[in-house]
Amino acid sequence: MNTFLARTNAVFAFALSILAALTFFCAMSTSYKKYGDVVPVKISTARESVRNLPNYQAGRETCDLGMLNFDLEADFTKAFDWNTKQLFLYLTAHYKTPANVINQVVLWDHILLRQPEAKLSLKNHNVKYYFWDDGHGLKNNPNVTLTLSMNVIPNAGMLPIFTVPTTHTFTFPNIYTN
Amino acid sequence: MSGFFDSIPTHMDFVGQKKAEKLFQTLILAAAVIGLAIGYHYEQFSYTVYSLGAGFVISCLITLPPWPMYRRNPVKWQKRRKETKSTKEDESSSPSSPSSKGKKKK
């Protein structure tokens, strides 16, 4: 503390320690927050159809390809608290087939940056990724559930994934569209 | 250049150093608490960081330069001895016995 440099070092080191403490506090303050519960979401689908096409990624055999459009209304304003930098959103289809008990296919995703009104309103939106089944489990499937999940990217702390409790269930028709 | 910088006095006396340390700790802590409240209220952690940065700059300005308020209690040195031999003795003894230096400072 006698010289200029020693004082600079002391002030800087102290400020840095306090910054670390603040960041830790910020991370702790949101570590138990359930982000999925503070986001009102409405999902609906339209024009569901199934096509039977060869999936060349897997082989030459034909597989079921689901087609649909979806509406999504959601308000993420409350998810952007002081520890949220951005959100990674993805829409997953869950269904059951005779071949597999658990099937999960991601149909769409989106990066939502911080903004004053973090609202999403999609109307009649196309899916982003192909809805392939690994067999013939989509035709006449009565119970396909869409869920919206969000990966919260924080300023400091864990990268948690939450699934919004509001879901939407729809049925695929029992004939192939060509 | 270095001679010019060395000629600028930057030291504080002991009371001043204590004062300076307490002052910058208080300032930075206050800035952190205020920033925490602001950042929590506006849901923006960057406000907290900026507030801490402001506290850092202010405390740098207040405690880094040796302002006169930190130099009001200069160390009282003992008077120099009158012997003419003493300079020779000091030169020969100072590297071997640093304790003599400490005694003199008191």
**Which DSSP string do the residues of chain B spell out, in sequence order?**
-HHHHHHS-----HHHHHHHHHHHHHHHHHHHHHHHHHHHHHT-HHHHHHHHHHHHHHHHHHHSS--GGGSSS---PPPPP--STHHHHHHHHTTT-THHHHHHH-
- Between chain A and chain B, the number of residue pairs with CB atoms below 8 A apart is 67
Predicted local confidence at residue A46, as pLDDT: 92
What are the backbone dihedrals phi and psi of residue A114, each rounded to the nearest 5 degrees, phi first? -65, 130
Domain boundaries, chain A: 1-30, 35-170
B57: distance to nearest CA of chain A, Å? Answer: 10
- Residues A151 and A160: their CA atoms lie apart, in Å, by 6
pLDDT at B2: 72
Beta-carbon count within 10 A of A105 CB: 19
CA distance linking residue A176 with residue A53, whole number of Å: 10
Q: For residue B85, what pLDDT is reported?
A: 60
Look at the block and give the residue holding tokens 């009649």: A124
Classify the complex by whether its ipTM is higher than 0.90, answering yes or no: no
Q: What is the dihedral of CA A26, A32, A38, A43, to 10 degrees?
A: 120
Determine, for residues B48 and A82 on separate chains, whether the beta-carbon distance falls below 8 Å.
yes
Write the pLDDT tens digit of every residue in B31-65.
999 999 999 999 999 999 999 999 999 999 999 98
Taking the complete model, does pTM exceed 0.90, yes or no? no
Among B11, B28, B66, the residue with its CB nearest the CB of A14 is B28
Pick from A17, A29, A30: nearest CA to B52? A17
Q: What is the pLDDT of residue B11?
A: 83
Contacts with B, A 26-55, CB within 8 Å = 26, 29
pLDDT above 50: residue B106: no
The CATH class of A35-170 is mainly beta
**With an 8 Å Cβ cutoff, are A82 and B43 in contact?**
yes
Write down the pLDDT at residue A58: 75
Choose the closest CB to A22 out of B48, B59, B64.
B48
Q: pLDDT value at position B101? A: 46
pLDDT at B104 over 80: no
Of the candidates A160, A152, A33, the one whose C-alpha atom is nearest the C-alpha of residue A88 is: A152
Residue of A175, A173, A171 lying closest to A45 (CA atoms): A171
Task: Confirm or reject contact between B32 and chain A (CB < 8 A).
Answer: yes
CA distance B17 to chain A (A): 6
* Token pair listed for B19: 């004062």
Nearest CA-CA partner of A4 in B57, B105, B31, B17: B17
A49-100: per-residue pLDDT in tens? 999 998 888 788 889 999 999 999 999 999 999 999 999 999 999 999 999 9
Are B45 and A82 within 8 A, CB to CB? Answer: yes
Using CB atoms and an 8 Å cut-off, which of residues 114-153 of chain A contact chain B?
A: none
User: For position B6, what pLDDT does the model report?
Assistant: 76
**Chain A residues close to B17, C-beta within 8 Å:** 1-2
Contacting B residues, span 67-106, partner chain A, CB-CB under 8 Å: none
- What integer pLDDT is reported at residue A129 of this predicted model? 95
pLDDT value of position B102: 46
CA distance A141 to A173: 7
CB contact under 8 A, B64 and A19: no
Residues B20, A7: C-beta atoms closer than 8 Å: yes
Phi, psi of A125 (to 5 degrees): -85, 140
- Positions of chain A with pLDDT lower than 50, given as ranges: none
Check A14 against B40: CB less than 8 A apart.
no
Do A18 and B42 count as a contact with CB atoms less than 8 A apart?
no
Place of tokens 């979401």: A41
- Interface membership of A21 toward B (CB under 8 Å): yes
